[in-house]
């Protein structure tokens, strides 16, 4: 019998074969190149899982311990591999448990397709067992969603789902499929989606805008680039590097853009934002031309918009028209994929060095090193700091690791001090700030790049939100390295309470379990470090291991993350202590 793949590769008119909707879903996934998905079975999605059982040699399913874990694992996989992550769940609570991951993927532009089961068509709207209006619930947090009620809709809708998820500015898509549509048979054929009416995912660059941008940049005395994840999603790393090198422009990154340019590049001046580097923040309000590439001027980057870069002409390179003028008015807006638009800009730029301007960043870096960085990574105090842990991981991994961080103080420290030589190396929850993201995302990141070292940096609070995903690591022996930086507090909230709430530490003290024993209960090698003399050797052992490894590091309880821009303040008001 001719296979589905053979039918689709034929130059003759497309053949059809009569199969169930559930089997059609599997064939659609395979046609889109999916070989790995994350999920949790249940009654309304059971027909699809029955078909998955028959295709285990072609499609690996990872049973997460919670549906939220499935979405974060799919996100980690997508962010490292550049492919679409796939998650699947049943109806009702299974579907609603996906919502946090959908929202996270939406705001961080992560390509993901989620498939949910639903009660049969004739029961829709009847409050049937495990019926929830997941389409209504997920509409605000998805790029697109759709409910399939007939089996014949499955090929077209899933093809459209994958196209929308990965094209233009990527994002999550949810497809809800009623149980009758999974059981019913129909004549199946599949064709990948190549376009959707009224949807223009990548606007064609306007050469007039390119010329105007080049003119502003060439005239600038103090140009400054801030890049975001759009550079990584657009695979424009080399184009950005060529632009900053030719024009001699200092360039800083948002946390979502980190790793696009190697940390040690001389024109990479560090991180902007609330806990970013001193120079990039202060000098944002001194540049004369601000060039934003693939970033959306998030409030954690800009601080008070009333005082943000008011002296500068703003050039905004962006694929999503909705982001232009949303927060910061652009003098020149260059729409399009950053790989294409930066390539068009490059030959129009004049060769320059801006030596005096770049020296201003170096001076600010020296100030920050003396007042903050030195104490973070080379502390003289007795207790361990988060910064020195990250520095030892850099050394042991030779700056080659993928760092997956959760959310909190440890996240900001990881973003500040991790060193990267390769793109797609910093995986974190940026816009939504989802505690619990780190552990399952690290699982997906490792499966998306099995040839790379993956280290999860997690706080004691966020770790316990998805700690059950240790079961996935144990069951599948995924060689993820987990580092919990334990200060027995919800550290970031405690820092704000100290600085802005007169040290009223309301509900931020954590009474924690024995994390080492829990890891050992999952048969994962585990160790705890509380002394500086043990740190280096233990991290070297962890990195050298080819198996899963858990490391708890007891760090200073009341360390704060600086620099810091107080909420709502100007970037010029950044505090060093």
Per the annotation, the verdict on 369 as an active-site residue is no
List, in order, residues 6 or more apart from 543 with CB less than 8 Å away.
393, 396, 397, 401, 453, 455, 481
DSSP 152: G
Helix (H, G, I), strand (E, B) or coil at 227: strand
C-alpha 108/C-alpha 368 separation (Å) is 29
Beta strands, E only, 359-430:
402-405, 426-427
Q: For this structure, is 392 an active site residue?
A: no
Encoding tokens for residue 559? 């360390």
Catalytic residue among 160, 179, 364, 481: 179
Q: Which of 5, 54, 58, 129 is catalytic?
A: 129
DSSP for 553-567, written as a single string: EE--TT----SB--T
Contact 403, 255 (CB under 8 A): no
Residue 482 CA, distance from chain mean position: 18
Residue 130 annotated among the catalytic residues of the structure = yes
Give me the residue label for tokens 């490059």. Answer: 346
Tell me the pairing of strands 402-405 and 289-293.
unpaired
* Residue 65 burial (CB count, 10 A): 17
SS3 of 243-274: the string is HHHHHCCCEEECCCCCCCCCCCCCCEEEECCC
Q: Which of 67, 237, 368, 469 is catalytic?
A: 67
> What are the backbone dihedrals phi and psi of residue 227, each rounded to the nearest 5 degrees, phi first?
-110, 155
Establish whether 129 is a catalytic residue.
yes
Please name every residue paired with 525 in a beta bridge, in sequence order, or none if there are none: 549
| Annotated catalytic residue, options 8, 130, 422, 468 | 130
The reply to whether 179 belongs to the active site is yes
Beta bridge partners of 253: 227, 271
Catalytic annotation, pick one of 271, 274, 435, 492:
492
In eight-state DSSP terms, residue 509 is B
Q: Which helix (H) or strand (E) holds 446?
A: helix 438-448
- Nearest CA to 318 out of 352, 299, 301, 293 is that of 293
- Find out whether 177 and 118 touch, Cβ atoms under 8 Å: yes
Which candidate, 229, 356, 357, 212, places its Cα nearest to that of 292? Answer: 229
CA 153 to chain centre: 31
What 3-state class would DSSP assign to 354?
Answer: coil
User: Which residues carry out catalysis?
Assistant: 67, 129-130, 179, 492
């Amino acid at each position: 019998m001719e296979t589905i793949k053979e039918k689709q590769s034929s130059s003759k008119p497309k053949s059809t074969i009569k199969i169930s909707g559930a089997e059609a879903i599997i064939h659609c996934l395979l046609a889109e190149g999916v070989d790995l998905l994350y999920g949790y079975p249940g009654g309304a999605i059971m027909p699809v899982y029955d078909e998955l059982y028959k295709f285990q040699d072609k499609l690996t399913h990872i049973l997460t311990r919670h549906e939220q874990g499935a979405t974060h694992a799919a996100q980690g996989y997508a962010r490292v591999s550049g492919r679409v992550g796939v998650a699947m769940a049943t109806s009702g609570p299974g579907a609603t448990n996906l919502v946090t991951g959908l929202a996270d993927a939406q705001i961080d532009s992560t390509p993901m397709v989620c498939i949910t089961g639903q009660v049969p068509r004739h029961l829709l709207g009847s409050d049937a067992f495990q019926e929830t209006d997941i389409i209504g619930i997920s509409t605000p947090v998805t790029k697109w969603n759709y409910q399939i009620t007939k089996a014949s809709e499955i090929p077209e809708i899933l093809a459209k789902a994958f196209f929308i998820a990965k094209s233009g500015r990527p994002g999550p898509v949810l497809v809800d499929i009623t149980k009758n549509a999974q059981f019913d048979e129909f004549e199946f054929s599949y064709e990948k989606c190549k376009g959707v009416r009224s949807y223009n995912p990548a606007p064609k660059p306007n050469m007039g805008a390119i010329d105007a941008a080049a003119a502003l940049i060439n005239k600038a005395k103090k140009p400054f680039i801030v890049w975001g994840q759009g550079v990584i999603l657009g695979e424009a790393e080399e184009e950005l590097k060529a632009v900053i090198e030719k024009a001699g422009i200092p360039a800083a990154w948002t946390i979502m853009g980190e790793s696009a340019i190697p940390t040690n590049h001389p024109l990479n001046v560090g991180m902007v934002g609330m806990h970013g580097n001193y120079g990039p923040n202060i000098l944002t309000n001194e540049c004369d031309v601000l060039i934003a590439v693939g970033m959306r001027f998030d409030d954690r980057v800009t601080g008070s918009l009333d005082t943000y870069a008011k002296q500068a002409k703003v050039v905004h390179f962006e694929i999503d028209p909705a982001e232009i003028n949303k927060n910061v008015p652009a003098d020149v807006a260059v729409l399009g994929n950053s790989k294409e638009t930066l390539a068009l800009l490059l030959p129009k730029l004049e060769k320059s060095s801006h030596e005096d301007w770049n020296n201003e960043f170096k001076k600010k870096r020296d100030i920050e090193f003396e007042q903050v960085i030195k104490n973070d990574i080379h502390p003289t105090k007795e207790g361990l700091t988060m910064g020195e842990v990250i520095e030892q991981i850099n050394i042991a991994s030779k700056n080659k690791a993928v760092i997956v961080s959760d959310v909190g103080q440890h996240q900001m420290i990881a973003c500040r001090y991790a060193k990267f030589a390769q793109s797609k190396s910093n995986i974190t929850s940026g816009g939504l700030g989802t505690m619990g993201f780190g552990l399952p995302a690290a699982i997906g990141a490792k499966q998306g790049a099995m040839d790379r070292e993956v280290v999860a940096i997690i706080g004691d609070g966020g770790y316990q939100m998805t700690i059950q995903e240790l079961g996935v690591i144990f069951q599948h022996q995924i060689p993820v390295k987990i580092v919990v930086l334990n200060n027995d507090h919800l550290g970031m909230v405690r820092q704000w309470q100290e600085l802005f709430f007169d040290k009223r530490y309301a509900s931020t003290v954590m009474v924690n379990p024995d994390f080492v024993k829990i890891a050992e209960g999952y048969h994962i090698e585990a160790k705890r470090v509380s002394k500086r003399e043990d740190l280096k050797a233990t991290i070297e052992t962890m990195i050298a291991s080819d198996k899963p490894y858990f490391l708890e590091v007891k760090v200073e309880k009341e360390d704060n993350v600086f620099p810091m821009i107080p909420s709502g303040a100007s970037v010029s008001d950044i505090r060093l202590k």
